[in-house]
Structure 1
Amino acid sequence: MNHPEQMYTYHYWANQTLLNRIKELPAAVLREEVNTSFPTIAQAFGHIYAVESVWYQVLNGARMQDALEMCMPLEKETLQHSADQFANDFAQLAEQYREWLRSQDDLDRTILLENPYAGTRHTRLSEIVLHVVNHGTYHRGNVSAMLRQLGHASTMNDYSLFWYQEAGDSINLSK
């Protein structure tokens, strides 16, 4: 497994780990409002999912503007999802990423990325994958803080913990 693929596998594992913790809590926790980056945990997960979907489209040749228009509505469409539904959404998207990653001969290949918010630059495919992972890590931190504000403990989902998980070496992205 190459480094971007391993990092994406970690990203999927971390999302599932945090969602499994949320499944242990009352279902209402996803929609309880807090004063932080996102009003609710469901909105945070919806954002992670929508942005990850945007980048998947870009990796498959879509213009970023088109990918944004196609995928960002997912933020609102997922607002009423349960933790199980989010877990399934991420599992399906992870399977698509896994297939894409395995089909790539050169993750150092560059594409011209026209980001409507930041400008145009040549970007390696591997950079995009690592951005997806980094973006997810950032927002899982938001979710952990939100859980604490709501009076619940979060759970560890650090990359270093992933190293030591038995499933870490042989994780199946389709689950």
Structure 2
Amino acid sequence: MNHPEQMYNYHAWANQTILGRIKELPSSVLSQEVNSSFPTIAHALSHIYAVDKMWYLVLTGTGMPEALQACIPLNSEIHGSVDEYIQCFTDLSAQYSEWLRGQADLEQTILLDNPFAGVRETSLSEIVFHAVNHGTYHRGNVSTMLRQLGHASIMNDYSLFWYQEPAQV
């Protein structure tokens, strides 16, 4: 398994780990307002999903401006249950995994036309790493929001992920 694929697998695991923790809590925790980066945990989850979907579209050949336009509505698509988020993330992770398995060279570059930063040659692996990093950042927001709402979060660090994998002997 290559490093970008391993990092994406961590990202998918970490998303499911924090969603599993949220599922253990009262369902109202998704929509409780909090003074943070996002008004609710549901808004944070929708943002992570929308950005993951946008980068998936870019990785599979859609121009970034078009991918961004297609995914902006997902940012404000607030689901009413953790199960809906679990399903969305599970489905998208399956798409990413299939795409990753089909890539012979993740160091190949594409011309990325980022409406916020300009045009840049970017490797596919850099995009995967960015999606993972973005998710990590916002899962941190979700952990903080959970604490502000009086609930413990759950560890979802990369180093913990290492121990979730079967040992290679």
TM-score normalised by the chain length of structure 1: 0.93
The answer for the alignment partner of 2:39 in structure 1 is 39
* Structure 1 stretches lacking a partner, 5+ long: 171-175
1:75 shift after superposition: 1.5
4+ residue runs over 6 A deviation = none
AA of the residue aligned to 2:17 = T
Counterpart Cα distance in 1 of 2:69 and 2:100: 24
The answer for the alignment partner of 1:17 in structure 2 is 17
Counterpart Cα distance in 2 of 1:26 and 1:51: 26
AA of the residue aligned to 1:158 = D
Percent identity for Structure 1 against Structure 2? 66
Query: CA offsets, 1:96-118, max 9 Å, x none?
Result: 00010011110000000000001
* Structure 2 stretches lacking a partner, 5+ long: none
The answer for the alignment partner of 1:131 in structure 2 is 130
Do the aligned partners of 2:110 and 2:123 also contact (CA within 8 Å) in 1? Answer: yes
Query: CA offsets, 1:76-134, max 9 Å, x none?
Result: 22x13311110110000000000100111100000000000011100000000000000
The answer for the alignment partner of 2:105 in structure 1 is 106
Counterpart Cα distance in 2 of 1:142 and 1:59: 26
The answer for the alignment partner of 2:62 in structure 1 is 62
Shift of the 68–24 alpha-carbon distance from structure 1 to 2, 3 Å rule, reads: same
Secondary structure of 2:122 counterpart: strand
Secondary structure of 2:76 counterpart: helix
Shift of the 169–73 alpha-carbon distance from structure 1 to 2, 3 Å rule, reads: farther
Counterpart Cα distance in 1 of 2:93 and 2:152: 26
Counterpart Cα distance in 2 of 1:86 and 1:137: 17
Query: CA offsets, 1:17-76, max 9 Å, x none?
Result: 000000000001001011110000000000000000000000011111100111120122
Counterpart Cα distance in 1 of 2:96 and 2:80: 22
Q: How many residues align?
A: 167
State the Cα RMSD in Å.
1.0
Shift of the 2–169 alpha-carbon distance from structure 1 to 2, 3 Å rule, reads: farther
AA of the residue aligned to 1:10 = Y
Secondary structure of 1:73 counterpart: helix
